[in-house]
Structure 1
């Protein structure tokens, strides 16, 4: 088939040969379409407005019942219908109509969508307020305390504590900053739900150490137990610190046992030291000392009892012991007035003497007299006769007085020194007669002196029965 020449008209298809040109769309149809779309949008908006009061009623009922916040089926249906109405119907109408109709219907569709969102937002706000009201009316449950952080990791081992550092650690008021590996013993207590070890320090004051480490959760089970811990000890304050526990052991507290008073037993005797022996023989000292010792003195008698005078004989500071025990037999009579060495248990009950339970008695030679009476002019006084005598300087004066059972004669120590007391000799009476005591003076200073003699109770020179005085004039 030959191509037509240029400029020739194209052939028209047979089917389209008699077709007419497309007629213009009628404006009336367009207006009907717009009106129909507006009516549909208005109906959907009306349904949404009616659904808002229903949602408010449901929210009020939920507040009254304090029920859990659940969506009622009445709320879901209107909301779903309101959401679907503008989204489904409007697009379908717009898709079926011409482009011009789409342009004309677009603003009303947007308005309907905004109107649908606004009531939905209000309904959601009503529900939120209802939920808030229900929560306010419900009882308030306190929130659970958050678990406190606990140290569960152990630090690397440190240097062991020295003896000096341990003393500082256990001293209240000292040792802050001391750190090292060691062990502590004490009583476990809880402070703010945390295990703490109460340790009794060196001065009986308590120190508190916080226990840390992997066993921190287990240790509270041993409250009031005796616990021993070892690990890294850090004294952070002067009265406590922290222990990173590596090992621990707990001992159940023992039940309180009623203490039974022990039977009275005699204290175990011991040997007295030389210093204690000197205190025993000194006047006014060593009261209460008791023990095994060996002492020396002059043997005397008071009635039927033997007395050992150990110091200051004849004065009111005389120290003497009453002899008891198996050695205090009648065989001692032959040693009266002589020096004896006694061994036994000495009990000094006062500053002026006590008792001695003698086990062995050994006679000793009498000491030589300090002053010889040969070639000395003596003045003698017999009995309790108040008198005045004249004595030459460096010569002698003797006073003999009868003794009574349970009593002894004595003078003041200061007077004895002033007048020059040399001897106070006990002399038993002949054939069991009354004993006597002789005082021997050698005055060394000229002048007139008053000498008073006291009849005092044996072993208690402070208790005086009677006394008398003599005046002594010492002439050059």
Structure 2
């Protein structure tokens, strides 16, 4: 038989039983420690999850026992579980087993106590946190403390009165710094940062500001925007203001200005431009134009009114203006002549309006068509008839007018028969006569119709009559 190495004794059956008991004890202790560590790790994980969701404050999770984090618990369980697998390979001594058992029991008890304490502290911490939050929300924020402003409440002794020169310096902006003395000031009361100031209009209309001091300093702000007069010791501390120690004051409420009724102002008249003047003198244009202008035309009369014909005389497109104003004095002797006048022109329709004459000047009458060496056919009165006229010779038609009306023909007929003149001849009283003078240029037979219509309203026809004109070569 081989001898045992290094003098080791052969194991007996009693020693084998003792070894198996030790291994069983160690195994049971390791299992209890592993279970306790697993419970602690599980509880810590649940608390961490609740904190993450907002169910419990973070402080509750931080109160877990040292070494009870998931990693440390797993590490302990692994470390304690290692002997379970190695127990068969490497048996430990009885002393080591007792020591491990003694160490494992207090650790398990500490873990259970820590878990119970954590459960008890978690609701307390939550209650404390919510209670603090409610208390903080319920308590109103304290208003910021205002530092009391220094106010002068005592009046200085009476000083010498200000002279006229000093008063001028006092009320001059940009000078007078250092002037002081007894006097009085008037101005408007303004309040800045709770302090009353008197705004005084100086000599050059610039404003000066004086701080009002004295026992009435607390009362004066009630008269803001009032007209205030103060008397006391005046000091000009800067070139644009100073202080007043008020001994007496009086305040007057500013009078409310009554709303003034809007005054209707006439639009300012202007000189008409050349383009506007041209529109005024043309038929069917410029209605509503008003302004200063100079016009030239033939002076006529309708009843007692003077009329200036400026274009298309004798046709139903005649443009004429009634002349009014003081400038019309002395016009009667110029009827039938050319006038140049200046005044306020107002064109009310396409065929005329009125002119307020300021001044006028007679102009030489335009050269009339020579009637010498012409065979002229005359027609008098409103008698429908037929006449024969030689080519390039003359035809005259004389018609009696009545006040407010004028005789006229169509523009196309005037062009066809060759209208050269339509002259107004004043008669006795208010009556007048209009003479139409034609020089036919084209042979043939045509019909001429004459209309008696209202002045300035060619469409309002009173009556008419026709004549037949035969032009022979």
TM-score normalised by length of structure 2: 0.53
Q: What residue in structure 1 maps to residue 157 of structure 2?
A: none
Matched, 1:462 2:456: no
3-state SS of the aligned residue for 1:344? Answer: strand
Matched, 1:49 2:35: yes
Q: What residue in structure 1 maps to residue 387 of structure 2?
A: 389
3-state SS of the aligned residue for 2:297? Answer: strand
Q: What residue in structure 2 maps to residue 322 of structure 1?
A: 322
- Does the Cα contact within 8 Å between 2:341 and 2:360 map onto a contact in 1? yes
Q: What residue in structure 1 maps to residue 342 of structure 2?
A: 343
Deviation (angstroms), 1:39: 1.4
- Does the Cα contact within 8 Å between 1:30 and 1:101 map onto a contact in 2? no
3-state SS of the aligned residue for 2:448? Answer: strand
Q: What residue in structure 1 maps to residue 245 of structure 2?
A: none
3-state SS of the aligned residue for 1:278? Answer: helix
3-state SS of the aligned residue for 2:431? Answer: coil
Deviation (angstroms), 1:416: 0.7
In structure 1, what is the Cα distance between the partners aligned to 2:36 and 2:317? 126
Deviation (angstroms), 1:452: 0.4
In structure 1, what is the Cα distance between the partners aligned to 2:263 and 2:443? 64
In structure 2, what is the Cα distance between the partners aligned to 1:42 and 1:293? 130
Q: 1:278 to 1:57 in 2, by over 3 A?
A: closer
Deviation (angstroms), 1:373: 2.2
Q: 1:335 to 1:270 in 2, by over 3 A?
A: same
Q: What residue in structure 2 maps to residue 39 of structure 1?
A: 25
Pairing partner for 1:66 from 31, 47, 55: 55
- Does the Cα contact within 8 Å between 1:51 and 1:78 map onto a contact in 2? no
3-state SS of the aligned residue for 1:270? Answer: coil
Matched, 1:451 2:448: yes
Q: What residue in structure 2 maps to residue 268 of structure 1?
A: 268
Deviation (angstroms), 1:288: 3.3
In structure 1, what is the Cα distance between the partners aligned to 2:81 and 2:279? 127
- Does the Cα contact within 8 Å between 2:44 and 2:68 map onto a contact in 1? no
How many residues of Structure 1 are paired with residues of Structure 2 in the alignment? 298
In structure 2, what is the Cα distance between the partners aligned to 1:78 and 1:404? 128
In structure 2, what is the Cα distance between the partners aligned to 1:327 and 1:444? 42
In structure 2, what is the Cα distance between the partners aligned to 1:76 and 1:342? 120
TM-score normalised by length of structure 1: 0.53
Deviations 1:204-252 (A, max 9, x none): xxxxxxxxxxxxxxxxxxxxxxxxxxxxxxxxxxxxxxxxxxxxxxxxx
In structure 2, what is the Cα distance between the partners aligned to 1:290 and 1:406? 24
Q: What residue in structure 1 maps to residue 206 of structure 2?
A: none
Q: What residue in structure 1 maps to residue 415 of structure 2?
A: 417
Q: What residue in structure 2 maps to residue 13 of structure 1?
A: none
Q: 1:408 to 1:261 in 2, by over 3 A?
A: farther
In structure 1, what is the Cα distance between the partners aligned to 2:77 and 2:360? 136
- Does the Cα contact within 8 Å between 1:457 and 1:464 map onto a contact in 2? yes
Deviation (angstroms), 1:375: 3.4
Q: 1:68 to 1:401 in 2, by over 3 A?
A: same
**Structure 2 gap ranges (5+):** 1-5, 105-110, 112-259
In structure 2, what is the Cα distance between the partners aligned to 1:294 and 1:78? 111
Deviations 1:105-139 (A, max 9, x none): 99xx9xxx9xxxxxx9xxxxxxxxxxxxxxxxxxx
- Does the Cα contact within 8 Å between 1:454 and 1:467 map onto a contact in 2? yes
Q: What residue in structure 2 maps to residue 243 of structure 1?
A: none
Deviations 1:26-84 (A, max 9, x none): 52446634531441232230353367568768977996993346277699789999976
Deviations 1:398-453 (A, max 9, x none): 211111221111001111111111111111112x1521111111222221110000
3-state SS of the aligned residue for 2:466? Answer: strand
Deviates more, 1:378-387 or 1:47-56: 47-56
- Does the Cα contact within 8 Å between 1:37 and 1:90 map onto a contact in 2? no
RMSD over aligned Cα, in angstroms?
Answer: 4.4
In structure 2, what is the Cα distance between the partners aligned to 1:332 and 1:355? 16
Deviates more, 1:456-465 or 1:403-412: 456-465
Deviations 1:187-215 (A, max 9, x none): xxxxxxxxxxxxxxxxxxxxxxxxxxxxx
Q: What residue in structure 2 maps to residue 24 of structure 1?
A: 8
In structure 1, what is the Cα distance between the partners aligned to 2:80 and 2:345? 126
Deviation (angstroms), 1:276: 3.1
3-state SS of the aligned residue for 2:332? Answer: helix
**Structure 1 gap ranges (5+):** 1-21, 114-119, 121-259
